[in-house]
């Protein structure tokens, strides 16, 4: 058995475990509307929408930190996307992008928004893995 056929089998198995639906997007900075006195969320640009696998990192106990004058707990998740996933030309995943779970067999996951903290690349991987955190 050669390496390419082993990788193809591994990628097919990894893809079969991707039972969540996710949306990876970037978001422009928010703006303040002086007329209404409200903050207007920045425009979201969808980079990928489709199958994914969202799983908590076992060792992640959560780190408590301050954000916008409130306590938040940072929980780590690893998100697997199909290995062959491509983004629009010239686009790379960078920290600060967001990933929303739009559908999941675990209804508690639907609507979860995760912040990308990093990405792993490898020609011998079975999936494309993004490191994310829940900032709620």
Count of domains forming the chain: 1
pLDDT at residue 49 is higher than 90: yes
Domain span at residue 17 reads 3-134
DSSP string, 21-82: EEEEEEEPPPEEETTTTEEEPPPEEEEEEEEEEEEE-TT---EEEEETTEEEEEEEEEEEEE
Give the per-residue pLDDT at 66. Answer: 57
∠ Cα 84 80 51 (to 5°): 70
Q: CATH number, domain at 26? A: 2.40.10.270
Give the per-residue pLDDT at 1. Answer: 74
For 59-78, how does the pLDDT look when each residue is reduced to its tens digit (9 = 90+)?
655 566 655 566 666 789 99
User: For the whole model, what pTM was predicted?
Assistant: 0.83
């Amino acid at each position: 058995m050669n390496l390419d056929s082993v990788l193809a089998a591994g990628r097919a198995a990894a893809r079969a475990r991707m039972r969540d639906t996710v949306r990876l997007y970037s978001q422009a900075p928010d703006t303040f509307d002086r007329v209404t006195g409200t903050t207007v969320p920045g425009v979201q640009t969808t980079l990928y929408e489709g199958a994914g696998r969202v799983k908590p990192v076992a060792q992640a106990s959560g780190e408590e930190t301050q954000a916008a004058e409130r306590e938040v707990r940072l929980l780590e998740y690893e998100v697997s996307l199909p290995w062959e996933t491509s983004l629009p030309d010239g686009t790379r995943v960078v920290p600060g992008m967001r990933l929303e779970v739009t559908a999941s067999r675990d209804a508690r996951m639907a609507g979860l928004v995760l912040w990308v903290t990093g990405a792993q690349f490898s020609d011998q991987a079975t999936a494309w893995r993004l490191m994310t955190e829940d900032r709620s």
